[in-house]
Structure 1
Amino acid sequence: MEKDTIFNQTFGLGNAHFDWLNACVGTNGFPDSLTYAEGYLRTPEILTNYIINNNKRGEVDFLVYPIVYSARHGIELSLKTILIDMSKLRNIDISLFDVTKIHSIKKLWETTNEIAQKTDIRLHYITSQITPYILDFIAIDDTAQTFRYPESNVGTTHLEQTPIINLVRFIYFFKKLKKGLQEIINITLELKNEYKTGTFTDKLSRRDLIKLAKCLGKREDWASTLTSDKKKILKLKFNLGSNKQLSKAIEKIQNNRYLSSLIGIEIPLKFLDRNTLILFKRVWYKLYFRYSLQHNNVFSDPLSDLGTSLSEVNVEEMVAYLEFKKKLTTTYLPLFSEEHLADLTTLIIMGRQSDQYYAEDYQKELETHLRDARMNKSEAFRYIFDNAAALIYVRRALLLLGCKTLSTESHFGY
């Protein structure tokens, strides 16, 4: 799009020798607020190191202004991004227009603290840790004027009460603040998937609900164990102000696939039962066990050690294995319904990446793989039984989904 490109003497490309200094910006670099913030947050330490390493004593009084201004502007941009992303976790309504127009760190930080407290204790803990460093900036340059201009709008000289700023001291504490901001950004990013599950209440996060479930004990014993006194203790422990808030949390636990297992209620899988899982294991062992014994590894691929070159390939073993696999498919494919295969595929995929899935993802994943199995049943069967580590993946998924009894009854509880 030549007509939309604006280059001139100052803003343009470098030659081949300096092309590594061509910075990608705008739609060429797709920067966001955090990209901008990162540049401003890195600048103070780079400039201070330049002064120290080159013994630029005479430049300290000049460079202090861009150094501190860059730090302050990086903080402002970071807080705006944090505020917007954090509010989305629980769908807390804030005006994006107002956030982008605010330049006061004090206002941004007050709102950030408020939303962190409403959202998750993990976020509130970090905001509490860096509050002293934020307050230092608020006291000196709340509105981004102090290090941009020598005087205020009413003609008062800036920094009259802070006539000395030691850059080594400044960088030391600024790095602590920068680290805290990055931790908030990282935690918010990690919490996005957790909060997408919808497993939280006004007062409790998913992690809090897990802790509460473990405190409740077995559901079948509540008539005698969940007394008024115990409810009072639980409300105090989890900072719940009423019986209604506790009841809402308990209801959330009882209706959740994983959390309910912590109180002794196991929600069954959609299509798989004990007999089908045992059949799956029987077929898997027929296909893999005799080969894996040769390599002393239950989860090894029987074809993985056929040879490192064509001359070393054991063709007879390969052909025998493929013929045996074909016979097994012909024999056992009819015994699995499309629904069974979809459920097994879901378990294998969730178990393979168990650190990236929640029990709440089960239904959506199952629907996807059910469509695939109905389109091509043979391919679904092949995917499951081509997976040499399927046993361990299914076991992980059963634990992830809270199916402890099913896991034990179908002999996956090893």
Structure 2
Amino acid sequence: MSEDPFFSLSGDTIWNACIGPQGDELHYLEGYLEAAIELANAVIEKEMLTKRDTLVLPILYNARHAIELVLKFVSGQLFDCELVAEKHPTNHDIKGHFDQLVAANIPDESIRDGLKTLERFVVSLDRIDDDGQELRYHVNRDGEKSLKGESLANIAVIRDSLNELSTAIIGLMNRTIDLVQERKSSTYTSRCSRADLREIAGMMPPLAEWSSEAFMGAKNAVKERFSLSNTQFSKAIDAIKTNREFYGMIGGETDLPCLLDDEAMQVVEQWRILHPNRDGKESEVVHGSRFRSADLIANIKRRRECVNALSGTITGREAADLEALFYLGRGDFLSEQFEDRAAAYLKPLSDDAELRAQIGRMLDKTNLLVCLERGARRAGRLSLVERLNSPPVRDPAQKANGSEMEE
């Protein structure tokens, strides 16, 4: 018996594709969408005029199936996080799946907008093939000729529409993935997702102006855009006020668990000593392809001095807050996870040696200042943001010493 014609493997592994347990649900969705686009492009770019009548059918079917798969993916994901009340029957009715999602009135503006964008593609393909049969078979289940209401389709028009469809599908897919992750946080209401609340915070004036007409204007704009009642608007504002990042967006200040602004600035001061702004001059340690050992030794000594200056000043809890602030600024987690992350970073800092090592690692980061500023902003620590954005203050003696050192 010969080897399997489709699933035997050759010695050339470069064309091995992952399927089954090594595949992914989204590979199906993306694969059918990409196949439709690639086929349409090939027909036009290679001027395959004799294949127009045959390839148009798999092009349209692949597009339809991609729509079916994205609707089922979105519906399944949102059902799992209880944003869709019940699963749609297992069938190929894309209009039915679409209508169920629209009727669910998902509490997320981007999902609702994504469905609106997808609607015309659903309507078009449901009109000619409401059960996924007519694009696959010459005769439908009723024994009638498939696509009898259509006689021509333009592949150039289809290709342009496929590009628009791809943007709509990928956008809806990605937003669904993000929404599911956001639901794991506590920042949402029955009518607004976390992303919606962020948009609302950005639309509101600073807290100091909430007794003015500016507040009422912003309130009315938010209610209209997100279709909120007064009660729903109030719940959205309450959720914003309990979120570090969003409260900071409207001018609210939130303390860090342990780290004070002065302590953070002491770390930054030592970091600036270790990473002075050399205005584009060559590195102190590397010159061309050669290491300058004297400068390398001086840099190691200076690093030790910077760590020593902070030892006994920065406690383990404060160092953990600092690390959490850095990684929050790098975008590694949501602002409402700050306390949990700081607690996790504290665990390894059980003795002075570990604490010194952690301080050293923080000082080594060339992007420390940038990430601390972003982290402080996302943590709602606006006073620290202001200080981090201020230029370092140097007294005349420091300037003189600095000039002498440069000379």
**Which position in structure 2 is the counterpart of 1:69?**
61
Task: Identify the match of residue 181 of structure 1 among 169, 175, 189.
Answer: 169
1:114 and 1:328, CA in 2 relative to 1: closer, same or farther beyond 3 A? same
Displacement of 1:41: 2.6
Q: Which amino acid aligns with 1:13?
A: S
1:407 and 1:165, CA in 2 relative to 1: closer, same or farther beyond 3 A? closer
Displacement of 1:124: 2.1
Do the aligned residues in 2 keep the contact of 1:240 with 1:246 (CA within 8 Å)? Answer: no
Task: Provide the secondary structure at the position in 1 that maps to 2:312.
Answer: helix
Displacement of 1:269: 0.7
Q: Percent sequence identity over matched residues?
A: 23
1:380 and 1:20, CA in 2 relative to 1: closer, same or farther beyond 3 A? closer
Q: Which amino acid aligns with 1:111?
A: Q
Task: Identify the match of residue 10 of structure 1 among 5, 12, 30.
Answer: 5
**Which position in structure 2 is the counterpart of 1:382?**
360
Task: Identify the match of residue 99 of structure 2 among 110, 114, 117.
Answer: 110
**Which position in structure 2 is the counterpart of 1:338?**
316
Displacement of 1:404: 1.5
Moved more, 174-183 or 205-214: 205-214
Q: Give the alignment's TM-score, normalised by structure 2.
A: 0.80
Residues of 2 paired with 1:107 and 1:284: CA distance?
59
Q: Which structure: greater helix fraction?
A: 1
1:75 and 1:8, CA in 2 relative to 1: closer, same or farther beyond 3 A? farther
Query: Is 1:140–2:123 an aligned residue pair?
Result: no
Do the aligned residues in 2 keep the contact of 1:307 with 1:314 (CA within 8 Å)? Answer: no
**Which position in structure 1 is the counterpart of 2:23?**
31
Moved more, 134-143 or 257-266: 257-266
Q: Which amino acid aligns with 2:19?
A: V
- 5+ residue gaps in structure 2? 392-407
Residues of 2 paired with 1:42 and 1:114: CA distance?
29
**Which position in structure 1 is the counterpart of 2:261?**
274
**Which position in structure 1 is the counterpart of 2:296?**
318
Do the aligned residues in 1 keep the contact of 2:335 with 2:379 (CA within 8 Å)? Answer: yes
1:190 and 1:297, CA in 2 relative to 1: closer, same or farther beyond 3 A? farther
Q: Which amino acid aligns with 2:279?
A: N
Displacement of 1:108: 1.4
**Which position in structure 1 is the counterpart of 2:289?**
308
Displacement of 1:179: 3.0
**Which position in structure 2 is the counterpart of 1:3?**
none
Displacement of 1:11: 3.2
Do the aligned residues in 1 keep the contact of 2:201 with 2:249 (CA within 8 Å)? Answer: yes
How do 1:156-167 and structure 2 match up within 5 A?
156-167=144-155
Residues of 2 paired with 1:271 and 1:104: CA distance?
56
1:181 and 1:257, CA in 2 relative to 1: closer, same or farther beyond 3 A? same
Q: Which amino acid aligns with 1:308?
A: S
For residues 135-187 of structure 1, the C-alpha deviation after alignment (integer angstroms, 9 at most, x for no partner) is 01010101012123333333333222223334444344344323321222233
How do 1:226-305 and structure 2 match up within 5 A?
233=220, 236-285=223-272, 287-288=273-274, 292=276, 295-296=278-279, 302-303=284-285, 305=286
How do 1:48-67 and structure 2 match up within 5 A?
48=40, 53=46, 55=48, 57=50, 59-67=51-59
Displacement of 1:342: 1.0
Do the aligned residues in 1 keep the contact of 2:369 with 2:388 (CA within 8 Å)? Answer: no
Residues of 2 paired with 1:202 and 1:86: CA distance?
14
Q: Which amino acid aligns with 2:367?
A: A
Displacement of 1:341: 1.0
Query: Is 1:41–2:46 an aligned residue pair?
Result: no
Task: Provide the secondary structure at the position in 1 that maps to 2:349.
Answer: helix
Displacement of 1:371: 1.1
What's the C-alpha RMSD, in Å, of the aligned pairs? 3.5
Residues of 2 paired with 1:64 and 1:388: CA distance?
54
Residues of 2 paired with 1:123 and 1:42: CA distance?
22
How do 1:169-208 and structure 2 match up within 5 A?
169-208=157-196
Task: Provide the secondary structure at the position in 2 that maps to 1:319.
Answer: helix
Q: Which amino acid aligns with 1:129?
A: T
Give the total of aligned pairs. Answer: 388
Query: Is 1:92–2:83 an aligned residue pair?
Result: yes
- 5+ residue gaps in structure 1? 1-5
For residues 17-67 of structure 1, the C-alpha deviation after alignment (integer angstroms, 9 at most, x for no partner) is x7655544323xx2223212333333344445565536453x544444434
1:192 and 1:230, CA in 2 relative to 1: closer, same or farther beyond 3 A? same
Residues of 1 paired with 2:215 and 2:313: CA distance?
52
